[in-house]
Amino acid sequence: MGAVALAYASGAALNPLAGINFPYGTFFVAALICGWWAGLGPGLTSVVLGAIIARHFLTGPGSRSIFTGGDIVGLFFYLLISSVLIVLFDRLRSARSRLEAQIDHLAKARAETAKRGDLLDLAQDAIISLDVRGAIDFWNKGAESMYGWSAAEALGRSPHDLFRTESGPSFPEIRSALLQKGAWQGELIQTRKDGVKIVVSSRWALKQGVEPGPQGAGNGSPGFLEIARDITERKRLEEQLRETARIESLGLMAGGIAHDFNNLLVGVIGNASLALDHLGPGHSERPLLQQLLRSAERMAYLTRELLAYAGKGRFVISLVNLSAIIQEQAELLQAAIPKNVYLEFVLPPVPPVQADLAQMQQVVANLVINAAEAIGVESGTVFVTTGILDLDESYRALRLSDFPISPGRSVTVKVQDTGCGMDAATQARIFDPFFTTKFLGRGLGLSAVVGIVRGHGGALEVISAPGRGSTFILYFPAAGSA
């Protein structure tokens, strides 16, 4: 009814101008609705059908011919306005469809980007994106966990400056390699936010759509991608394996030499003793034979130290109370060190351990003498302390992984000095045979200690720093209660 009213209102408005009735109003609205919902083709079809139906069925009997001037003007305006509006509606529909498609595509792209971002955040490796200037523009959770900086702190900064990279090529060198070859990988030493240095395996690549080559820098390179993995622990384990293999090879060599040397000394000492027995007390050659025997006995002691270092010494195992034997040694130990060094003992009751008494005495004596020599000519103190520790697997794996000790209750012996301390390079070599930082070395002191400790299924830990003294801690499995 509204459309019919609109048709008659339009006809009434146009009638004075055209001098005719205007029967196209109703079909004009119908054609626009059809064009809006169905499209260009159906809309134009409805315009033509509307014109035919309006002329033949709605003009009434006695109307003028369709070719008269008034009808031609009305038909022309009807066809023109309807067609133009339907074409505009069609373009609006097409534009709306394209806009909806773009919105849908953008929503899917955002969802895909969010999905990829979530996947990148699940990676434990640091995944970093850099723009062409080398500034960070993406920083995943793995990077945050590995380096300590949040994304807000890292974005916009250069990774080489942020991590204070110490070894490896500079960023311009890496960038040049990327633009030439498309990829670069290597190991870098970097510093985390908390100041801890880490070894990083770093792999770089150009972002998609960038072709490597001499002109790469001038082709609008959008940036670079880096994946970094913390390999500090792996490098430490590799170094530990190499050190273990080195010690084992030295031990095998020392054990073989000691056995052969000891067999030769048996003949030397035996024949020298027999010759000494055949000479009278005042014979002129007797002092020479006595000197020979003393030298041979010192060489025999050296072979015992070599065997101890190799872990092949002969042990007489019994239950030994370490606090008790150290207390018995106290006076001898004080006499064996310079007068400017003082000994302090803290020896609470501890459980016994399965050990060779003489070997335990040698271990304590070697450590105390080494600590006293580290103090030098200045006055200082050596602290000798025993204790009990419930050794768990995490503690053992972190600090004692080089030794065969098992988790459980352990008896500890701590020898601590107030001497000059050691740097990392010295600590790495102190257990090597005949290595010394003093002008005159003392043979296999600390090397023998390591061999004896290993032979008893124990462990040894060293804590030292330049200017802060040194602490040697022995761990032996407890064999009973205190």
Is it the case that residue 86 has pLDDT exceeding 60?
Answer: yes
Q: Which of 3, 81, 77, 88 has its CA nearest to residue 39? A: 88
| Per-domain residue ranges of the chain | 2-98, 126-230, 236-309, 317-477
Residue 350 CA to residue 474 CA, distance in Å, equals 14
Encode pLDDT of 42-76 as tens digits.
767 777 776 666 665 555 554 444 444 556 666 66
Query: What pLDDT shows up at residue 251?
Result: 65
Query: What pLDDT shows up at residue 220?
Result: 46
CATH superfamily of the domain spanning 126-230: PAS domain (3.30.450.20)
DSSP E strands in 314-444: the ranges are: 317-320, 341-346, 353-356, 380-391, 408-417
Query: What pLDDT shows up at residue 411?
Result: 94
For 236-309, the fitting CATH number among 4.10.1060, 1.10.287, 1.10.3470, 1.10.10 is: 1.10.287
Banded pLDDT at 349 (limits 50, 70, 90): very high
Q: Are 432 and 464 in contact (CB under 8 A)?
A: no
- Amino acid residing at 415: V
Is it the case that residue 439 has pLDDT exceeding 80?
Answer: no
Residue 335 CA to residue 346 CA, distance in Å, equals 19
- In degrees and rounded to multiples of 5, residue 465 shows phi and psi of -155, 150
Q: Are 458 and 318 in contact (CB under 8 A)?
A: no
Is it the case that residue 120 has pLDDT exceeding 60?
Answer: no
pLDDT, mean over the chain: 77
CATH fold group of domain 317-477: Heat Shock Protein 90 (3.30.565)
**Residue 288 burial (CB count, 10 A):** 14
Pairing assessment for the beta strands 224-230 and 183-191 based on DSSP bridges: unpaired
* Between 407 and 263, the higher pLDDT residue: 407
- The average pLDDT across 300-324 equals 74
Q: Is the pTM here over 0.85, yes or no?
A: no
Encode pLDDT of 356-392 as tens digits.
888 888 889 889 988 998 888 888 999 999 999 998 8
Is it the case that residue 239 has pLDDT exceeding 70?
Answer: yes
**136: helix, strand or coil:** strand
Residue 27 CA to residue 49 CA, distance in Å, equals 9
Q: Which of 158, 157, 143 has its CA nearest to residue 192? A: 143
CA dist 335 → 276, 331, 372, 382 (Å): 33, 6, 12, 13
Share in percent of the chain as helix, strand, coil (round to 5): 55, 20, 30
**Residue 255 burial (CB count, 10 A):** 19
Encode pLDDT of 94-105 as tens digits.
777 788 888 877
